[in-house]
Amino acid sequence: MATSKKDAFYRYHAARLRLPEDKLRPIYDDELDGKKKPDDPFEVPDKMDVFFKYSYGGQSRFFREIFHHERLLGAKCPACGKVYCPPRSVCPRCYEKTEWVNLPGTGKVVAFTIQHYSTSAFVKKVPFLVAYVQLDGADFLMMANIEMDDVTKAKPGMPVKVAYRPEKSGSITDIYFEPLAD
């Protein structure tokens, strides 16, 4: 294919996919240079995406307290007394509307694993920790990241406390856990 047509193909898809052009090159060169046979698979770049203005609905206060005040809330069922974190606006066991309660932000690690590999959104972050944390004052486990200098020092049962990122995005990653200094 004439260089200009080839460049146009890469330029078009790089702009559409919002990818650097060099990431697409030279994957499609054989096709563009007419080197494929008539019945070879014909491959093209593509992407599926949707933008959102997502509402947290009845869980909004949980995220707003983290975002504005660095406070961790749980949701307590007035009937059974169970406290949920992640919160729920109703108790799935009693079908009662829950009430907000403050949590101390401390807890312990029930189980943790080291991610040595992850999705394309996280490959640059490895190795990192994913754990189930039993929060003090809550009745169920929360899946969370634990951040520590040496991930190999993590231990089951390790006490942890919540930490807040200085630059917040409004998502659950505004919080993480770190070992509680002993």
Partner 1 sequence: MPEVAIIGVGCTNFRGRHPDKTYFELAFDAAKAAFEDAGIDKADVGAAVYGIYNDFFQRQYQPDAFVHDYLGLPPIPAVRVNTGGATGGSALRIGYAEVASGLYDIVLVLGVEKCADCFDYFTKNPVPEVLRAILYTSDMTYDNPIGRTAASGFALAVLAHMQKYGGPTEEQMAKVSVKNHGNALKNPRAQSGMKITVDDVLKSPKIVDPFKRLDNCLYTEGAAAVVLASRRKVAELHPKKPPIWITGLGAALDWAFPGNRESIAEFHGCRLATKKSYDMAGITDPLEQFDLAELHDAFTGTELMSYEDCMFCEPGEGGRLIDDGTVWPGGKLPVNLSGGLIGCGHAVGATGLMQTSEIVWQLRHEAGARQAPNARRGLVQSIGGTLCAWTVSLVLERMD
Q: Closest separation between CB of residue 50 and partner 1, Å?
A: 11
Q: Closest separation between CB of residue 77 and partner 1, Å?
A: 13
Can you name the residues that pair with 142 across neighbouring β-strands?
133
Q: Closest separation between CB of residue 126 and partner 1, Å?
A: 9
Residue 79 or residue 114: which is nearer to partner 1 going by CB?
Answer: 114
Residue 46 or residue 149: which is nearer to partner 1 going by CB?
Answer: 46
Provide the binding-site residues for partner 1, judged by CB under 8 A: 17, 19, 23-24, 27, 41, 43, 45-46, 48, 56, 59, 86, 92, 110-123, 125, 128, 130-132, 140-145, 156, 171-173
Give the residue ranges of DSSP H helices in the chain: 3-17, 21-24, 29-32, 60-64
Q: Are strands 128-135 and 141-146 parallel, antiparallel or unpaired?
A: antiparallel
Residue 2 or residue 42: which is nearer to partner 1 going by CB?
Answer: 42
Residue 8 or residue 126: which is nearer to partner 1 going by CB?
Answer: 126
Report the distance separating Cα 131 and Cα 134, nearest Å: 10
Per-residue burial over 4-13, b = 16 or more CB atoms within 10 Å of its CB, e = otherwise: eebeebbeeb
Q: What are phi and psi of 108, to 5 degrees?
A: -135, 155
